[in-house]
Chain A
């Protein structure tokens, strides 16, 4: 009979038990304080009810020790909440190294995921159980928000900016995926599912959808077609800096300062090349706005990341 009345969301990620632990703690503290207040109110209300209309009440000014007591105790308890909550939040914001990387583009009204191996899927996300997954997300139009209740995670997906979210699924199964930031007419239709599979099943799934071209390969192809390589040669001999090994490094900028070469930096350099000019190079790069889609930029980023991996492999050799 209560099939339609779940009272607790499924726990399917390493984060879920941690958020639930917070829930238990917060609820226990709340029940304690709420009961305390309710009991006092009821007891006073009964004990001190007015018996005759002429009755007077003794006046009590207040009590400074009491005021201090009931300010300091809640302060102490809330600081525990603050620190505990902050620790969980900090881990939610720090993807572990070596997570499986997947790109995600949100738009009115669908989620488009692209796996490194080249598969893309709409309103679904297939991932292996037991491995941390990191999504790099952007939006093609308004703000959306990626929300998987069973994983207890959520992150806004913004136009012209990359945000990331990560999770470590623990249990194979299908979980609901919602858009949590109001995004227009079909906002409530922007739902999908995350399919967590046993690693072997995931490999099989990857193979079935294989397109033959990975994200990085598609990026390399775009890089060639857009003519990026004319300036960005393998060494710093072109009009522009060499890009191999760039990703994740700090870049010195013209006029002082530096920038971290992350996804956002690369996107900006493609669309707004004059916003941050690399020291020692003339500001001659044209913008590629309108010539390359959000998906395309993500592919180019994947390509540049792959160059970094090759570079590292070469250095180790």
Chain B
């Protein structure tokens, strides 16, 4: 490689046009990376405002109406424009074709279209924020959203509706790609677990998203044309909305966590140089979560007036869905046994993930316990629980994944010391922010409260202090990763000594990923073998 300029996907051509019209999955991953990073910091800004307001029990920073818009836009942005696309659209897009030895996704133009759809949806929602915002909460419960709210519900709903198509198309693309484009010899049970988890996620994308889309259309129609679907005054049923909404949105939380589990499987294997313990159990656990996840939506409705019997069924099923998650945690832990473990920054995120996911998952059991949930439902206990899963779990895995594959994406290595420091700050800041909220919730502080009784203040101040530490942890990577683009050390094709087809091509990879089609002769994570024994590339193998 010395001296001679190697052609790769980043330098084949230049200019804005070459990016905006690209059909290369790796460049599209960058389009997503840049846009969702933007949304993450927009959502983060709203979160900062919320935590600042809650420093004191009085509503002295913003008005109630503004506060309600802040938590709504925080939720909408984070859920629909950051968490749902984060890992699949950035890391999944970049890695799935490479991990299975393909040149691209099955439908490259559709992939680009998905990004444009995502952006159009995002613009609608940003427009709604700019025009004055929405105040319904990201859950849009009727009849508040369909009749009573005087804010920009319709515009926001259109944005989310449009974005949904992006998810559906990405899911479709992944499923077809994984079925049809695996390299010779790459059987289903030789796939990296990252691919399995994205397969399961894609099933949810395709089956779940249309239900959300229809539900939001109904809310929009009721607002604009006064249909009586959810309005009890016209014979509609306000609780029907909750069923439809959670039918999508509970599986949606698995959209956020399954890809994260996929990333963590790669991190644990890569940094302990071991095959994941119980590979097939972990793979099937992803599918089990995706399937059972569709049957537990009613656990969000234990106090909604649904029948006691429905409550019993949903509670039972919720406990069942916890088992595959537990299996994964046990298997990751067992993978460390007799490993050759190193503590580079991605691994710190991976181990941090297991820690916070364990707490998030265990508190999920609290919420699935009927008599207990009644007390903590819609309190800060729930806020803490889902942040442990979504922020502690998904975001930490996402950061770990970005660090792990950064050398592959950019050809550069980030400064390790800073990265470890950031991982540590994120972990500490995170726990300080959200742990007090469990206590706050049990004490009875309801969620979505702008003004609160003074006895809750100390815990709120702790939480806000933690949030400011967490913010530092999130801004640091932004800085040193951008810095590394120019000043980072040049990465080899496999800087971690990891196994996986993506590590067998250049960093950054050529536009077609591989110069010749790879052939695979062993399962994922074959650390007992040399790469040459696992993958062959014909005569003109890329060096």
Q: Which residues of A contact B (CB under 8 A)?
A: 4-9, 18-19, 22-23, 26, 29-30, 33-34, 37-38, 40-41, 44-45, 48-51, 53, 55-63, 66-67, 70-71, 74-75, 78-79, 81-82, 84-93, 108, 141-143, 145, 147, 149-150, 152-156, 158-161, 163, 176, 178-189, 191, 272
The 7 A-B residue pairs whose C-beta atoms are closest, nearest first, are A88-B371, A149-B444, A160-B232, A85-B369, A89-B370, A62-B278, A44-B336
The answer to whether B444 and A9 touch across the interface, beta carbons within 8 angstroms, is yes
Interface centre among A18, A71, A85, A186 (most CB of B within 10 A): A85
* B110 proximal to A (CB < 8 A): no
* B537 proximal to A (CB < 8 A): no
What's the dominant secondary structure at chain A's contact region? mixed
Residues of B within 8 A of A60 (CB): 274-275, 277, 337-338
The answer to whether A81 and B319 touch across the interface, beta carbons within 8 angstroms, is yes
What's the dominant secondary structure at chain B's contact region? helix
> In chain B between 206 and 244, which residues have their CB closer than 8 angstroms to a CB of chain A?
232-233, 235, 238-239
The answer to whether A82 and B316 touch across the interface, beta carbons within 8 angstroms, is yes
Report how far A60 CA is from B354 CA in the complex, Å: 21
Of B40-48, B86-94, B165-173, B324-332, which stretch is located at the interface?
B324-332
Report how far A182 CA is from B303 CA in the complex, Å: 14
Residues of A within 8 A of B469 (CB): none
Report how far A137 CA is from B327 CA in the complex, Å: 43
The answer to whether B343 and A49 touch across the interface, beta carbons within 8 angstroms, is yes
Residues of A within 8 A of B370 (CB): 82, 85-86, 88-89
Minimum CB distance partner of A22 in chain B: B372
The answer to whether B336 and A188 touch across the interface, beta carbons within 8 angstroms, is no
The answer to whether A160 and B446 touch across the interface, beta carbons within 8 angstroms, is no
* B363 proximal to A (CB < 8 A): yes
Residues of B within 8 A of A154 (CB): 303, 374-375, 377-378
The answer to whether B446 and A180 touch across the interface, beta carbons within 8 angstroms, is yes
Supposing A41-B351, A45-B351, A57-B339 touch, asked if A63 and B278 sit within 8 A by C-beta, the answer is: yes
Report how far A37 CA is from B277 CA in the complex, Å: 15
Taking A4-B457, A142-B148, A181-B141 as given, write out 15 further A-B residue pairs in contact, using a Cβ cutoff of 8 Å, ordered by the A residue number: A5-B459, A30-B362, A48-B338, A49-B343, A58-B528, A59-B527, A61-B278, A62-B279, A62-B280, A62-B331, A147-B378, A152-B375, A180-B378, A181-B378, A188-B449
The answer to whether A182 and B341 touch across the interface, beta carbons within 8 angstroms, is no
The answer to whether A61 and B333 touch across the interface, beta carbons within 8 angstroms, is no
Residues of A within 8 A of B377 (CB): 154, 180
The answer to whether A82 and B275 touch across the interface, beta carbons within 8 angstroms, is no
Of B305-313, B422-430, B480-488, which stretch is located at the interface?
B305-313
Query: Contacting B341 at CB < 8 Å: which of A44, A90, A141, A181?
Result: A44
* B454 proximal to A (CB < 8 A): yes
Report how far A70 CA is from B333 CA in the complex, Å: 12
The answer to whether A84 and B362 touch across the interface, beta carbons within 8 angstroms, is no
* Count class of interface residues, chain B: 35 or more
17 pairs, A vs B, C-beta closer than 8 Å: A18-B371, A48-B339, A57-B272, A57-B340, A58-B338, A60-B338, A66-B334, A78-B323, A79-B319, A85-B315, A89-B312, A142-B148, A149-B375, A156-B304, A160-B232, A182-B447, A188-B64
Report how far A67 CA is from B330 CA in the complex, Å: 9
The answer to whether B369 and A22 touch across the interface, beta carbons within 8 angstroms, is yes
Residues of A within 8 A of B369 (CB): 22, 26, 81-82, 84-85
Residues of A within 8 A of B185 (CB): none
Minimum CB distance partner of A61 in chain B: B275
The answer to whether B362 and A86 touch across the interface, beta carbons within 8 angstroms, is no
Minimum CB distance partner of A51 in chain B: B340
Minimum CB distance partner of B139 in chain A: A182
Min CB distance B160 to A, Å, is 18
> In chain B between 404 and 454, which residues have their CB closer than 8 angstroms to a CB of chain A?
439, 442-444, 446-454
Min CB distance B422 to A, Å, is 19
Supposing A60-B275, A183-B144 touch, asked if A38 and B372 sit within 8 A by C-beta, the answer is: no
Residues of A within 8 A of B336 (CB): 40-41, 44-45, 48
The answer to whether A152 and B341 touch across the interface, beta carbons within 8 angstroms, is no
Residues of A within 8 A of B527 (CB): 56-57, 59
The answer to whether B239 and A158 touch across the interface, beta carbons within 8 angstroms, is yes
Min CB distance A178 to B, Å, is 5
Supposing A30-B365, A81-B365, A152-B374 touch, asked if A71 and B327 sit within 8 A by C-beta, the answer is: yes
The answer to whether A145 and B340 touch across the interface, beta carbons within 8 angstroms, is no
Report how far A137 CA is from B235 CA in the complex, Å: 19
Residues of B within 8 A of A159 (CB): 143, 232-233, 238
Minimum CB distance partner of A30 in chain B: B362
The answer to whether B371 and A22 touch across the interface, beta carbons within 8 angstroms, is yes
* B137 proximal to A (CB < 8 A): yes
Min CB distance B53 to A, Å, is 11
Query: Contacting B333 at CB < 8 Å: which of A4, A8, A37, A272?
Result: A37
* B474 proximal to A (CB < 8 A): no
> In chain B between 261 and 314, which residues have their CB closer than 8 angstroms to a CB of chain A?
272-275, 277-281, 302-305, 308, 311-312
Min CB distance A187 to B, Å, is 6
Interface centre among A34, A66, A154, A163 (most CB of B within 10 A): A154
Report how far A108 CA is from B144 CA in the complex, Å: 11
The answer to whether A185 and B64 touch across the interface, beta carbons within 8 angstroms, is yes
* B260 proximal to A (CB < 8 A): no
Min CB distance A102 to B, Å, is 18
Residues of B within 8 A of A37 (CB): 329-330, 333, 354, 358
Residues of B within 8 A of A85 (CB): 315, 368-373
Minimum CB distance partner of A90 in chain B: B308
Supposing A50-B340, A81-B365, A88-B371 touch, asked if A185 and B65 sit within 8 A by C-beta, the answer is: yes
Report how far A101 CA is from B329 CA in the complex, Å: 49
Report how far A8 CA is from B439 CA in the complex, Å: 8
The answer to whether B451 and A189 touch across the interface, beta carbons within 8 angstroms, is yes
The answer to whether A156 and B148 touch across the interface, beta carbons within 8 angstroms, is no
Query: Contacting A184 at CB < 8 Å: which of B149, B235, B312?
Result: B149
* B322 proximal to A (CB < 8 A): yes
Residues of B within 8 A of A88 (CB): 370-372
Report how far A182 CA is from B136 CA in the complex, Å: 8
Query: Contacting B148 at CB < 8 Å: which of A7, A141, A153?
Result: A141
